[in-house]
Amino acid sequence: MNGDDEAVAASADPSLPLDWRFSQVFGERSAGEEVQEAGVSSAVDIISAIEFDHSGDHLATGDRGGRVVLFERTDAKNSSGARRDLEETDYPLRHPEFRYKTEFQSHDPEFDYLKSLEIEEKINKIRWCQTANGALFLLSTNDKTIKFWKVQDKKIKKICDINSDPSRAVGNGTIATSVNGGVPEANNSFIPGGISSLRLPVIQVTSHESSPVARCRRVYSHAHDYHINSISNNSDGETFISADDLRINLWNLEISNQSFNIVDVKPAKMEDLSEVITSAEFHPTHCNMLAYSSSKGSIRLIDLRQSALCDSHSKLFEEPEAAGPKSFFTEIIASVSDIKFAKEGRYLLSRDYMTLKLWDINMDSGPVATFQVHEYLKPKLCDLYENDSIFDKFECCISGNGLRAATGSYSNLFRVFGVSPGSTETATLEASRNPTRRHIPIPSRPSRALSSITRVVSRGSESSGVDGNSNALDYTTKLLHLAWHPNENSIACAAANSLYMYYA
């Protein structure tokens, strides 16, 4: 059985391990090419957010420069809505193919004069909203401000013909006539007997190809004192939440000047602060439920029907406390950096620094499965703390059928795990068309949110190590952001300023 036959077999039988292959790359740098830099330590074109829309036909990325780039799928459907024929492809199982659609400047750098604070333009999160009348809608946010965008194709109109002689056109385009002894005059149509006939030029306009135009519909601002780390759409299509380190606010998409605070973990005295909110996500089908994670490694499920202010949770998910002594790094590596609900909403995926965990929301005694991602880094926690790598926030994603999950690692690697009961499937891939190419270090700046309040000074020293297979590990190249196609086995992941697509 060749590779193509294996891909077809894996597609037919979800229990078989997937054979992952490179599909596309956008923005890959050639060897030795430096990333465009802005300021001292940030590269504006480094991707900071990735998100598929609900259909999987569109993909959005955000970068540190405040730009949002949209890609559209080209192989999915033809004009009649049917799947295209596969006779012109080399693959019996056609993989998703995307092309660049448009880009727009979503956020610009700002300065808070009251707090003497610079607000970066970096896009922290992107979330797609429901489409309407052929237009695309999405939310994007930086540290302080959320914006609601509408992207719609507009036809470009051009003049193709004018039936007048340019040499006889004067003034505002009227045709000169000869009166009073042959002297040409114009604009005398109101003189009695001055013009026997009046000719007006006829302009013919044709519509050419359409071009996507992005327009900001609403701006949701001045609602967060700390850095926004999450936004999430509700399944009702009308509301969404935004979360910072201490609060979660509920918004209506149609109302931008007010929001409702539903979670507030800020203590009366900041000296008593023991944990912060790290991520928040609405349940995919129940509009009254949402979950949020904390820097202590716990996940809280809350029900909006119980009370208006959801300071008390309906369920608490956390790892049972391990026996034995705790180290200085125990709480740091337990901090949950990202959570994702599975499509049907029963299972919840979480990522901390060392592991990927799968939770059943009906069972709060502990995770149903734990997958080791950085087990081999345990002996190097001191080095990781010294170079701030221990505060890196890796995202996670889960497949549409809920059978597999993926997350990133160092050296631009990402790992895929089978999460179904009894599955031992695991795969490690590098975000590169050439896995053996030499990595170019990318400047990185640690987050200055409260969740990393214990460490905000970046040190100049860089450390290297080895992974579980004794391969060289580069802490300066890290794959933090990735997204799984909602309906197919396809993953989009960001390595610096490059977007890589893989399929199985």
Q: Where are the domains of the chain?
A: 1-33+333-504
Look at 64-78, 148-162, 197-211, 271-285 and tell me which has the smallest mean pLDDT. 197-211
Q: What separation in angstroms does the CA of 265 have from each of 4, 274, 466? A: 52, 10, 39
Tokens of 199: 């000719």
pLDDT score of 17: 86
Under a CB-based contact definition with an 8 Å cutoff, are residues 445 and 454 in contact?
Answer: no
Q: What is the pLDDT of residues 472-486, one digit of tens each?
A: 678 889 999 999 999
Q: Is the pLDDT of residue 329 over 80?
A: yes
Backbone conformation region of residue 4, classed left if phi is above 0, alpha if psi is from -120 to 50, else beta: alpha
For 40, 241, 460, the CA distances from 447, given in Å and listed in that order, are: 15, 21, 16
pLDDT confidence of residue 28: 74
Q: How far is CA 499 from CA 15, 17, 74, 398, 483, in A?
A: 28, 24, 17, 19, 11
Q: Which percentage of the chain shows pLDDT scores above 90?
A: 60
Higher model confidence: residue 283 or residue 467?
283
What 3-state class would DSSP assign to 191?
coil
Classify 254 as helix, strand or coil.
coil
Round to whole Å and give the CA distance between 322 and 354: 15
Where residue 270 falls (left for φ over 0; alpha for ψ -120 to 50; beta otherwise) is alpha
Percent of the chain clearing pLDDT 70 (strictly above): 73
- Locate 42 and state its tokens: 């940030």
Please say if the pLDDT value at position 338 is more than 80.
yes
Q: Angle at Cα 215 formed by Cα 212 and Cα 220, nearest 5°?
A: 145
Confidence (pLDDT) at 459 = 31
**Alpha carbons 346 and 405: distance in angstroms, whole number:** 15
**pLDDT tens-digit readout, 5-47:** 554 445 556 678 899 999 999 987 655 555 444 333 347 889 9
How far apart are alpha carbons 340 and 359 in whole angstroms?
10
With tokens 């509009």, the residue in question is 287
Residues 254-269 have a mean pLDDT of: 94
Query: Residue 87 is encoded by which pair of tokens?
Result: 């006779």
**Range in 216-225, 251-260, 424-433 the model is least confident about:** 424-433
Strand order in the sheet with 404-408: 396-398, 404-408, 413-418, 426-430
Rounded CA gap, 266 and 149, in Å? Answer: 31
| Number of residues assigned to the chain | 504
- Please enumerate in sequence order all residues whose Cβ is within 8 A of that of 114, keeping only pairs 6 or more positions apart, or say none: none
Q: What is the mean pLDDT of residues 218-232?
A: 95
At residue 309 the predicted structure's pLDDT band, cuts being 50, 70 and 90, is: confident
Global model pTM greater than 0.75: yes
Split at pLDDT 50, 70, 90, the class of 113 is confident
Give counts: helices (H), strands (E), the chain. 3, 38
351 vs 157: which has the higher pLDDT = 351
For the segment 362-386, the average pLDDT, to the nearest whole number, is 93
What is the residue-averaged pLDDT of the chain? 81
pLDDT digits (tens, 9 = 90+) for 76-87: 654 334 444 433
SS3 of 77-131: the string is CCCCCCCCCCCCCCCCCCCCCEEEEEEEECCCCEEECCCCEEECCCCCEEEECCC
Amino acid at site 232:
S
Task: Specify the pLDDT at position 326.
Answer: 79
Segment 393-415, tens digit of pLDDT: 999 999 999 999 999 999 999 99
Lowest mean pLDDT segment, chosen from 150-164, 178-192, 440-454, 479-493 = 440-454
11 near 488, Cβ under 8 Å? no
